[in-house]
């Protein structure tokens, strides 16, 4: 079985990058969710989302930063420690991604947030193999 994750980024003026993410297994869609990231700032560490490209998404049981199952995006040029972890707000990110089930301005600050981040992470933990292909492109 081949699992490929397609992350389609949308250009949204503001303080965040929002993506639709589609998980496929053997070319069939099995799950979709949203991802919030920092805006594109030319791959600056701690200030930018990662470049469009092809990566490996690795499942982790825990890490020094997060004591729960989450994911690491591997082989990002010039960057390490890029995770997909529970995060509803872009202000909780330093280059990582926060998966969520819905888009909403949860705290009414004018910035798009993702809701139900824990639910999205749990679903991903249950359906993804230890390593998956991740393809990021602009929509």
The confidence score (pLDDT) of residue 138 equals 95
The confidence score (pLDDT) of residue 11 equals 80
What are the pLDDT tens digits along the chain (139 aa)?
A: 899 999 999 987 778 999 999 999 999 999 999 999 999 999 999 999 999 999 999 999 999 999 999 999 999 999 999 999 999 999 999 999 999 999 999 999 999 999 999 999 999 999 999 999 999 999 8
Whether residue 88 contacts residue 115, with contact meaning beta carbons closer than 8 Å, is answered with yes
Q: Which domain holds residue 78?
A: 3-138
The confidence score (pLDDT) of residue 86 equals 98
The confidence score (pLDDT) of residue 47 equals 95
Whether residue 103 contacts residue 115, with contact meaning beta carbons closer than 8 Å, is answered with yes
Q: Which residues, 6 or more positions from 55, have their beta carbon under 8 angstroms from its beta carbon?
A: 73, 74, 75, 76, 133, 134, 135, 136
Q: How many domains in the chain?
A: 1
DSSP lists the bridge partners of residue 3 as 25
CATH number of domain containing 57: 2.40.440
Distances (CA, A) of 127 to 25, 73, 87: 10, 17, 20
The confidence score (pLDDT) of residue 13 equals 78
Please report how many Cα atoms fall inside a 13 Å half-sphere around the Cα of residue 82, on the Cβ side: 24
The pTM for the full model equals: 0.96
């Amino acid at each position: 079985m081949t699992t490929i994750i397609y992350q389609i980024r949308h250009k949204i003026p503001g303080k965040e990058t929002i993506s639709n993410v589609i998980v496929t297994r053997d070319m069939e869609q099995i799950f979709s969710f949203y991802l919030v990231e920092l805006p594109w700032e030319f791959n600056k560490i701690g200030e930018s989302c990662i470049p469009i490209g092809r990566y490996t998404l690795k499942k982790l049981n825990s890490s020094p930063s997060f004591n729960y199952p989450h994911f690491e995006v591997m082989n990002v040029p010039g960057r390490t420690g890029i995770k997909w972890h529970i995060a509803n707000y872009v202000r909780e990110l330093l280059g990582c991604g926060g998966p969520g089930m819905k888009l909403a301005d949860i705290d009414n600050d004018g910035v798009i947030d993702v809701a139900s981040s824990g639910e999205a992470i749990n679903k991903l933990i249950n359906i993804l193999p230890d390593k998956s292909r991740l393809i990021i492109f602009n929509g």
